[in-house]
Amino acid sequence: MSLLDHRIRQRLDEKLKKLNAIRPLNPAQVQKLREQMEVEMTYNSNAIEGNSLTLRETYLVLQEGMTIKGKSLKDHLEVKDHKEALDFLYELASHDSQTISEHLIRQLHQLVVRETDTDWAGKYRTGMVIIGGADHTPPDAVDVPRQMAELMRWLKQNDKKMHAVELAALLHHKIVHIHPFFDGNGRTARLAMNILLMRRGLPLAIILKNDRKKYYRVLQDADKGNAVPFILFIAQAVERSLDLYLRTFGSDAAGKLLTLAEASKGTTYSPKYLNLLARAGRIDAFKKGRVWRTTREAIENYRAGRLRRRK
């Protein structure tokens, strides 16, 4: 039984189908969008872990080679390392036969912390770690190799059985649950997740710094055995990227984006109710900054779906 809500699953599949229908995409636009998303992914993934560089500063470090006054060397090195790991990820994703392995995960980790944790880059931890603010205690270091091997067997068994988004989300959680490295586990897990997504034709999915608290909360839910909120959270990140691609490449499927307050006008739904629907994945909506946005079409689709279920 799938843990991915059927409504969002259907929307994701429909949007991927629309994206595939307008391929091949313009190479110049693809490159420009890739560069934009690499900056956003690098900024958000590092910021979640405490990096102090802003989005603009991250762009200047990556694209202009600038050094930001008042910011630590470690912050700069983390940006450059993550960019190297993303370039490696794009190369991997271009090969359909590429499978996730322990070796590959260690390669990703080696790139992510290459300049900031050289002694342990690509190496499993040899001691205990404590995750601040979390109830979960990762396994003893001696159990890490066994649990990582079990994870690879699980992935192989489920690779063709699960929807790509569900599989990628669960892989992400399982890596951070095992916490195989002293540092860089979150960044490595987010990259590994994206290899699975991109291999299935989905764009790079970015977890936003603004959603950091929710991200950690749904990860903790998954630690306690309830992975549904985390899978929904990842699905919404995937859908946000799909929407970006469809709008960038001129798909006629994209309606005018509205705030929830704007979208509620002329309907029986309040902005607060639409917010609840958006967070639950029950309407097609995504966050831009801290503001949820949707379309008239999404509200109408939700209303029509409710009417059909009543009949």
Q: What is the model's pLDDT at position 52?
A: 97
User: Which amino acid appears at position 172 of this protein?
Assistant: H
Q: What is the model's pLDDT at position 99?
A: 79
- Of residues 235, 295, 293, 299, the one with CA closest to residue 267: 299
Please write the tens of the pLDDT for every residue from 39-95: 999 999 999 999 999 999 999 999 999 999 999 999 999 999 999 999 999 888 777
**Sorting pLDDT into bands at 50, 70 and 90, what band is 131?**
confident
Question: Over the Cα atoms of the chain, what is R_g?
Answer: 20
| Stretch 280-309: mean pLDDT | 80
Per-residue pLDDT at 254 exceeds 60: no
Q: What is the model's pLDDT at position 251?
A: 60
Task: Show the 3-state SS of 218-238.
Answer: HHHHHHCCCCHHHHHHHHHHH
Q: What is the model's pLDDT at position 255?
A: 66
The rounded mean pLDDT for the chain is: 91
Per-residue pLDDT at 265 exceeds 60: yes
Beta strands (DSSP E) in 116-237 are: none
**Sorting pLDDT into bands at 50, 70 and 90, what band is 98?**
low
- Estimate to the nearest angstrom the gap between the alpha carbon of 249 and the chain centroid: 21
Q: What's the residue count for the chain?
A: 311
- Of residues 202, 12, 224, 136, the one with CA closest to residue 2: 12
Active site (catalytic) residues: 179
Per-residue pLDDT at 189 exceeds 80: yes
- Alpha carbon separation from 61 to 73, 80, 207, 289, 295 (Å, rounded): 11, 8, 21, 22, 36
| Stretch 9-20: mean pLDDT | 95
